[in-house]
């Protein structure tokens, strides 16, 4: 049986403005007690309507569990599902189900380690997270600046039984790299012609494409040094 929930909070105008700012992917600074958790419900609900999921990143396990329990009645009343990854063990069925919720709460470290573990699997059905869509980060300065200075690393033993995967895809990767080099050569030659003809802006944009495609592309490095664009 369900239980009656009394919701006695409303969004003030300034909180509505904060919700708009967060929806736009910007930073909203609010002091303790000004209703950060309540403000976050606005962009959370709006972006969860797409059905692609929303991640709410908190700085500790207590806040992740508290906020998910606190805001669940509001979201569920409007037809959304809410869960928290910190309630379940790593790589468990329940954690995978938590990521399938419309709104998923969790700590920054747990989200990152799940992402790293997903990059170690060799099949899609072993993935824990689904495709990333939208996230709101509480204490963003702490998460993306202070804590980001400490790298999160995951490691494990090599499964030598799966070496056949490497041999199977080796020729495919080599073909892709060959085509990539051919494509980059064309862009690089075009960039040189544009720069030599005085069209430095257009040429520079093409050089950027080459750099994005292959940062250690030797002809590009040599060209930049000769033109004195960079110094070593």
Does residue 6 lie within any of the structural domains?
A: no
Cβ contact 100:89 at 8 Å: no
Q: Could you report the per-residue pLDDT of 76-103, keeping only the tens digit for each?
A: 999 999 999 999 999 899 999 999 999 9
Radius of gyration of the chain from Cα atoms?
A: 24
Do 29 and 85 lie in one domain? The reply is yes
Residue 50 DSSP label: T
Query: What's the sign of the alpha-carbon dihedral 182, 184, 185, 190?
Result: positive
Among 52-56, 61-65, 68-72, 161-165, the range scoring the smallest mean pLDDT is: 161-165
Q: Could you report the per-residue pLDDT of 162-216, keeping only the tens digit for each?
A: 778 788 889 999 999 999 999 999 999 999 999 989 998 999 999 999 999 999 9
Do 133 and 44 lie in one domain? The reply is yes
The CATH number of whichever domain residue 111 belongs to comes to 3.40.50.300
User: Rounded CA gap, 15 and 204, in Å?
Assistant: 44
Kindly state the tokens that stand for 50.
Answer: 């797409």
Band the pLDDT of 35: cuts 50, 70, 90. confident
pTM: predicted TM-score of the whole model, two decimal places: 0.71
Number of domains in the chain: 2
Does residue 1 lie within any of the structural domains?
A: no
Which is nearest to 207 in space by CA: 232, 222, 190?
Answer: 190
**Final residue belonging to a domain, choices 118, 149, 180:** 149
**Final residue belonging to a domain, choices 149, 176, 208:** 149
Does residue 22 lie within any of the structural domains?
A: yes
- The neighbouring-strand residues paired with 209 are none
SS3 103: strand
Full domain range(s) for residue 187: 160-226
Residue 47 DSSP label: H
Do 180 and 116 lie in one domain? The reply is no
- Mean pLDDT over each residue of the chain, to the nearest integer: 90
**Final residue belonging to a domain, choices 126, 149, 172:** 149
The predicted pLDDT at position 52 comes to: 95
């Amino acid at each position: 049986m369900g239980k009656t929930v009394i919701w006695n909070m409303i969004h003030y105008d300034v909180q509505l403005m904060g919700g708009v700012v967060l929806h736009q992917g910007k930073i909203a600074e609010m002091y303790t007690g000004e209703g950060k958790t309540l403000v976050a419900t606005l962009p959370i609900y709006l972006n969860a309507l797409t059905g692609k999921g929303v991640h709410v990143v908190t700085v500790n396990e207590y806040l992740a569990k508290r906020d998910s329990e606190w805001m669940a009645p509001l979201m569920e009343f409007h037809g959304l599902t809410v869960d928290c990854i910190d309630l379940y063990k790593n790589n468990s069925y329940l954690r995978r189900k938590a990521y399938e919720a419309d709104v998923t709460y969790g700590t920054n470290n747990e989200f990152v380690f799940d992402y790293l573990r997903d990059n170690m699997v060799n099949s899609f059905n072993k993935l824990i997270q689904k495709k990333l869509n939208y996230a709101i980060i509480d204490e963003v300065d702490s998460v993306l600046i202070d804590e980001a200075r400490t790298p999160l690393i995951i490691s494990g033993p090599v499964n030598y039984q799966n070496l056949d995967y490497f041999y199977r895809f080796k020729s495919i990767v080599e073909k892709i790299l060959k085509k990539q080099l051919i494509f980059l050569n064309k862009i690089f030659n075009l960039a040189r012609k544009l720069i030599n003809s005085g069209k430095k802006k257009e040429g520079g944009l093409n050089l950027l494409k080459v750099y994005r495609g292959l940062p250690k592309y030797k002809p590009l490095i040599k060209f930049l040094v000769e033109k004195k664009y960079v110094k070593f």
